[in-house]
Amino acid sequence: MTDTLTITRPDDWHLHVRDGAALEAVVPHSARQFGRALIMPNLRPPVTTAAQAMAYRDRIRAAVPAGTAFEPVMSLYLTDKLPPEEIALAAEAGVRALKLYPAGATTNSDAGVTDIRKTYKTLEAMQKHGLLLLVHGEVTDPAIDLFDREAVFVDRVMIPLRRDFPELKVVFEHLTTKEGAHYVRDAGRFTAATITAHHLLYNRNAIFTGGIRPHYYCLPVLKRETHRVALVEAATSGSDRFFLGTDSAPHPAHLKEHALGCAGCYTALTAIELYAEAFDSVNALDKLEGFASFHGPDFYSLPRHTDTITLKRESWTVPETVPYGDATLKPLRGGETVNWKLL
């Protein structure tokens, strides 16, 4: 049994850090573990221009603790009307991707895409300039059951998208289903996916055990056990199509526990430890480095890190709350134990 594990420093390819005092509270949690993070652009208002992305990047950099090497990788928020001309400016500024939120699919997605065909001119520019498309893979058709929206998205959106833009790099974000995992597994080399720690560790029972547990409520929602197993199989397969993306999404505790609780799990505090636990559960710790440290930068055509982190098999108790500006934040598994610890 392995009691310590040293791996190349990992990256987080799907992270929400909000803004202002909230940003200042959460960025250090990610920076202590990861060398880079792909920053989601769903602020209010959303980040839709290269200039806005660079200003946001600077605010994130300012929140990184002194002496810590952590680089935010920036994205723009794709809208029906985002002009193709903005893509050249974004590429020149160092923006790496655009995020497709189907309108109304999740937190701060009201300005999202109503019909992907309206964005085709922008997607053509992205393919030309080498920017990636990151998709929140759920349809928002009210006739489709909440638990089926990812599988339907594959048929309605992903398959036509791949046909029309065969060389556009696409990341299917926060996979939650067997159908999604198998689609990415069998797709061409221009398609990849991120998988969260909470979707590897939990199924939908976690939301309802002992009552409504709002801190396990996220979108896409946790699915049944057969889907969790398929995600674990994908993440631990060694396939370079799958890599780490926490989708850590902070919300003040009082809004998570509100009558209309916000969607999002805050996992940044213990992210790499949770992933280690998930991989360890199926005796696949030898596959963690590829998933966490290699596959993501390779797909984004960025260099792998040269430094390392070390994890120790040690049970410790996650804080029940952490400061979050003027509020408090409750991390996933707060007050409970995690079986691996970052040294």
Active site residues: 247
Q: Which residues fall within 8 angstroms of residue 310, CB to CB, at 6 or more apart? A: 4, 5, 6, 342, 343
The Cα 90–Cα 207 span in angstroms is: 39
Secondary structure (DSSP) of 50-96: HHHHHHHHHHHHHTSPTT---EEEPEEE--TT--THHHHHHHHHT--
Q: What angle do CA 272, 6, 298 make, to 5 degrees?
A: 70
Q: Which strands make up the sheet holding 132-136, listed edge to edge?
A: 75-77, 97-100, 132-136, 170-173, 191-195, 242-244
* Cα 211 from Cα 213, distance rounded (Å): 6
Task: Name the pairing type of β-strands 4-8 and 308-317.
Answer: antiparallel
DSSP 111-138: TSBS-GGGGHHHHHHHHHHT-EEEEE--
Query: Which contacts qualify for 84-87: CB closer than 8 Å, 24 or more apart?
Result: 84/121, 84/122, 84/124, 84/125, 85/125, 86/48, 86/49, 86/50, 86/122, 87/122, 87/125, 87/126, 87/128, 87/129, 87/131
Count CA within 13 A, CB hemisphere, residue 209.
7
